[in-house]
Amino acid sequence: MKWTLPAVVLKIMRFFEASSIRKIGDTYYFIYSSSANHELCYATSKYPDREFRYGGVIISNGDIGIKGRKGKDRVAVTGNNHGSIECIHGEWYIFYHRHTHMSSNSRQGCAERIKICENGFIPQVEMTSCGLNQGALAADGDYPAVIACNLTDGKMPHIGNGVCRQKKPHITHKKEERFITQIQDHTLIGYKYFCFEGKTKIFIMTSGTGSGKFLVCNRPGEMLGEIMIRPSKKWIENETVIDAEGTHALYFIFKGKGTVEFLRFGFAKES
């Protein structure tokens, strides 16, 4: 039997690995990881084995490409990416992974809702903390710090298929606890999105040698409040009250000395 390979323009597609195919209507979507090694892309065809044409990037695990963002401005460490799209209760999602432990072999599975336009185009989506929630998270109750979709000191590396030994903020673990470590001055930790309903007490649980404060912002440069922290070998809780309405991103920006570890944060509505 003679086998023929799919007719794909490899140079344009920058195909690397992690391929899968989904049929939506009369169109085949070829999902794959590109040679950029941080994004999942797609190509389309009316046939399962030929004539695929490049469609674009669906997601980057550093939000490279969102609003024209360049690699040097990645919002988190970038590295290899694997996954595909799936329809759940009538909504389409892209499943992908971010990286933990500053290693391409340590991965955090994620999902983002996507839109498939009438003409078949899939716009690139940004990373969020919402997953399969079908919308913004409630600013109520506790959340693990490791659901951060932005984690950067302003100069995050691309690790590709390797490991980074630099002291950079990253997700790690100790026994059963998962937390963010190596938080230093100017580190930004971002969560998208939360639905706020007025005055809310917000707390963070931290440890480490760090002392200073976390600026609480709904976007970089727009402060809602600040939370003072002090050095501690054990997890300690500190809080503030913020006033916000509607759906916003939530950023914690550390200003201070030493190194902080961040376990979780939470909300309680103020009467």
Of the residues 79, 114, 149, the one at which a domain ends: 114
242 phi and psi, to 5 degrees? -120, 160
Same-domain pairing of 168 and 93:
no
Same-domain pairing of 72 and 144:
no
The pTM of the full predicted model, rounded to 2 decimals, is 0.93
Same-domain pairing of 104 and 156:
no
Same-domain pairing of 157 and 251:
yes
Which residue segment(s) compose the domain that 194 sits in?
137-269
CB of 107 within 8 A of CB of 163?
no
Helix (H/G/I), strand (E/B), else coil: 242: strand
Same-domain pairing of 170 and 74:
no
Cis peptide before 193 (omega within 30 of 0): yes
The confidence band for 7, taking pLDDT boundaries of 50, 70 and 90, is very low
Rounded mean pLDDT, 193-215: 97
| Distance from C-alpha of 55 to C-alpha of 51, rounded to nearest angstrom | 12
Round the CA-based radius of gyration of the chain to a whole number and report it: 20
pLDDT in tens, 108-130: 999 999 999 999 999 999 999 99
Same-domain pairing of 108 and 178:
no
| Distance from C-alpha of 86 to C-alpha of 145, rounded to nearest angstrom | 27
CATH code of 215's domain:
2.60.120.260
Query: Who contacts 165 (Cβ-Cβ below 8 Å, separation ≥6)?
Result: 102
Q: What angle do CA 56, 35, 26 make, to 5 degrees?
A: 35
More confident site: 171 or 165:
171
| Distance from C-alpha of 249 to C-alpha of 136, rounded to nearest angstrom | 9
Domain count, the chain: 2
- Is there a domain that residue 1 lies in? no
Query: Who contacts 121 (Cβ-Cβ below 8 Å, separation ≥6)?
Result: 55, 56
146 phi and psi, to 5 degrees? -75, 0
- Is there a domain that residue 124 lies in? no
pLDDT in tens, 140-163: 999 999 999 999 999 999 998 899
